[in-house]
Amino acid sequence: MRVLVTGGAGFIGSHIVDAAVAAGDEVRILDALLPAVHRVAPAVNGGAELVVGNVTDRGQVEAALDGIDVVYHEAAMVGLGVDLDDLPAYAANNDLGTAVLLAAMARAGIGRLVLASSMVVYGEGGYRCAEHAAVRPGPRVRADLDAGRFEPPCPHCHRQLASVPVREDAPIDPRNVYAATKVAQEHLAAAWAAATGGTVIALRYHNVYGPRMPRDTPYAGVASIFRSALAAGRAPRVFEDGGQLRDFVHVHDVAHANLLAARRPDRPGRLTALNIGSGTPRTVGDMADALARAVGGPSPVVTGGYRIGDVRHIVASSVGAAELLGYRARVGFAAGMAAFARDPLRG
């Protein structure tokens, strides 16, 4: 199989490249190698062809697609962003880039796409109220957060809710710029599939961690931020009360899920969205503790601070991925975090 990995020099993309090369695929990478992402030249798998180019450039995309059977679309600007001045860059890199890619795929007659989506499309995760069953809480308000009331209340009776795994049929509710662009990517891909008869599997990644995570940038993930603090001899600083539930999934499991998706029998003309997580929820505080213990570093400090746009709990139901792809996470939390504490990060 001849595959193109956009963003294939990046964190997740580079692991997909490694997995595809190991599986015997012919692999081409399209990556802009932007200095904001790659402050030093990244190491690229020697079994893959590297094309330096941007997914927003029609000519570069068309050249990269020559002879390709399947596209893994990983190129994107990630993270919550710093402020709304980031909005044009997110829209250009994520949504315009996806539109250029999809149009070029249609012209080239390439009908199979594995799209990197994200848990952020849901907003808050799944919740149940003792009285009102499944409910969708609204955005948390600043007054509650200032008072240390971090749990979203039931929108009907205002009681505390229980977190439950979020399923792919949950309503879409993007609550920051990055989330809005990931929703737009899914919608563009669905429209492309309907118009061309192509197949899209959108993998909604949960909290991915592992070797080659970017470090020391405003857009870095929380696991990388904690790692950098510990490496500098500082205590990880945990927002809120540390009780935020997440599904931390190792990047090797994410890469494996991508290969399974690329090999799944066709469902032409439609987009299928699947959660990709570990299936085992943990708190952000758990993750900080695990990393600190692994390196013998200072214990985490729970700050009580918060970021507007963050959600309280979001954990994955990976039942869909298990049923459709045969996907099961293979890297456990304890082993994964112990390894990640010493894994090389990307500068």
122 catalytically annotated: no
Tokens of 249: 């999934």
User: Which residue from 247, 275, 253, 257 is spatially nearest to 331, judged by alpha carbons?
Assistant: 253
Check: CB of residue 116 under 8 Å from CB of residue 76.
yes
8, 19 Cβ separation under 8 angstroms: no
Tokens for 248? 């931390």
DSSP string covering 188-257 = HHHHHHHHH--EEEEEEE-EEE-TT-B-SSTT--HHHHHHHHHHTTPPPEESTTS--EE-EEEHHHHHHH
Residue among 90, 122, 178, 205 flagged as catalytic: 178
Distance CA 339, CA 334 (A): 9
Nearest-angstrom CA–CA distance, 309 and 104: 34
Phi, psi torsion values for 161, nearest 5 degrees? -105, 160
Residues 6+ apart with CB under 8 A from 35: none
Judge residue 305's burial from the number of C-beta atoms within 10 Å of its C-beta, 0-12 exposed, 13-18 middle, 19 or more buried: exposed
- Residue 190: partners with Cβ closer than 8 Å, 6 or more residues away: 200, 270, 271
Residue indicated by tokens 């990976």: 318
Known catalytic residues are 178
